[in-house]
Homo-oligomer: A and B are copies of this chain.
Amino acid sequence: MIICKVIGNVWATRKEETLSGEKLMVVQRMDLDEKVSEEIFVAVDCVGAGIGEQVLVTTGSSARMALRNQDAPVDASIVGIIDEVQAQAGE
Protein backbone atom coordinates (compact mmCIF):
# COMPACT_ATOMS: atom_id res chain seq x y z
CA MET A 1 0.00 0.00 0.00
CA ILE A 2 1.13 3.54 -0.43
CA ILE A 3 0.76 6.56 1.82
CA CYS A 4 -1.20 9.30 0.11
CA LYS A 5 -2.78 12.66 0.84
CA VAL A 6 -6.36 13.21 -0.25
CA ILE A 7 -6.41 16.43 -2.28
CA GLY A 8 -9.79 16.55 -3.97
CA ASN A 9 -12.72 14.97 -5.75
CA VAL A 10 -13.58 13.87 -9.27
CA TRP A 11 -17.07 13.99 -10.76
CA ALA A 12 -18.07 11.83 -13.69
CA THR A 13 -21.75 11.59 -14.53
CA ARG A 14 -21.21 9.27 -17.44
CA LYS A 15 -19.40 6.23 -16.08
CA GLU A 16 -19.46 2.47 -15.74
CA GLU A 17 -22.67 1.45 -13.95
CA THR A 18 -20.76 -0.49 -11.32
CA LEU A 19 -19.04 2.74 -10.26
CA SER A 20 -22.33 4.43 -9.39
CA GLY A 21 -22.41 5.72 -5.85
CA GLU A 22 -18.69 5.33 -5.28
CA LYS A 23 -16.84 8.41 -4.03
CA LEU A 24 -13.90 9.13 -6.33
CA MET A 25 -11.08 11.06 -4.67
CA VAL A 26 -7.89 12.55 -6.02
CA VAL A 27 -4.82 11.42 -4.10
CA GLN A 28 -1.11 12.17 -4.19
CA ARG A 29 1.61 9.84 -2.98
CA MET A 30 3.64 11.11 0.00
CA ASP A 31 7.07 10.30 1.32
CA LEU A 32 8.20 10.31 4.97
CA ASP A 33 8.82 14.06 4.97
CA GLU A 34 5.21 14.49 3.87
CA LYS A 35 6.44 15.75 0.53
CA VAL A 36 4.03 14.68 -2.20
CA SER A 37 4.94 13.29 -5.62
CA GLU A 38 3.81 15.12 -8.76
CA GLU A 39 1.71 12.28 -10.08
CA ILE A 40 -1.88 12.22 -8.98
CA PHE A 41 -4.39 9.45 -9.30
CA VAL A 42 -7.97 8.67 -8.45
CA ALA A 43 -9.01 6.20 -5.76
CA VAL A 44 -12.40 4.98 -4.54
CA ASP A 45 -12.94 5.94 -0.92
CA CYS A 46 -13.93 2.92 1.20
CA VAL A 47 -13.45 4.40 4.69
CA GLY A 48 -14.97 7.89 4.71
CA ALA A 49 -11.79 9.87 4.09
CA GLY A 50 -11.78 13.65 3.93
CA ILE A 51 -9.75 16.21 2.00
CA GLY A 52 -6.33 16.75 3.55
CA GLU A 53 -6.20 13.43 5.37
CA GLN A 54 -3.32 10.98 5.12
CA VAL A 55 -4.60 7.68 3.86
CA LEU A 56 -3.50 4.18 2.95
CA VAL A 57 -4.16 3.36 -0.71
CA THR A 58 -4.20 -0.14 -2.19
CA THR A 59 -3.58 -0.43 -5.92
CA GLY A 60 -4.06 -3.07 -8.60
CA SER A 61 -6.59 -5.87 -8.51
CA SER A 62 -6.39 -5.99 -4.69
CA ALA A 63 -8.13 -2.59 -4.65
CA ARG A 64 -11.34 -4.34 -5.65
CA MET A 65 -11.37 -6.37 -2.43
CA ALA A 66 -12.36 -3.23 -0.54
CA LEU A 67 -15.41 -2.44 -2.66
CA ARG A 68 -19.05 -3.28 -2.04
CA ASN A 69 -19.18 -4.40 -5.67
CA GLN A 70 -16.01 -6.36 -6.30
CA ASP A 71 -16.73 -6.48 -10.02
CA ALA A 72 -16.30 -2.73 -10.46
CA PRO A 73 -13.39 -1.68 -12.71
CA VAL A 74 -11.33 -0.12 -9.92
CA ASP A 75 -7.53 -0.21 -9.54
CA ALA A 76 -7.06 2.03 -6.48
CA SER A 77 -8.95 2.21 -3.17
CA ILE A 78 -8.54 4.16 0.03
CA VAL A 79 -8.51 1.42 2.67
CA GLY A 80 -7.44 3.25 5.84
CA ILE A 81 -7.10 6.66 7.43
CA ILE A 82 -3.65 7.02 8.90
CA ASP A 83 -3.37 8.05 12.54
CA GLU A 84 0.38 8.01 12.68
CA VAL A 85 3.44 6.96 10.71
CA GLN A 86 6.40 6.17 12.91
CA ALA A 87 9.37 5.56 10.67
CA GLN A 88 12.90 6.68 10.01
CA ALA A 89 14.13 6.60 6.45
CA GLY A 90 17.49 4.97 5.79
CA GLU A 91 20.14 6.51 3.55
Chain A residues packing against B (C-beta within 8 Å): 1-3, 5, 7-16, 18-19, 24, 26, 28-32, 35-36, 38-43, 46-48, 56, 58-66, 71-77, 79-91
Contacts and interface: CB of A to CB of B under 8 A. Distances in A.
Contact of A40 (B3, B14, B40): B3
5 contacts: A1-B42, A3-B10, A11-B85, A15-B80, A61-B61
Nearest to A44: B1
B86 A16 contact: no
A42 B56 contact: yes
A64 B66 contact: no
A42 B7 contact: no
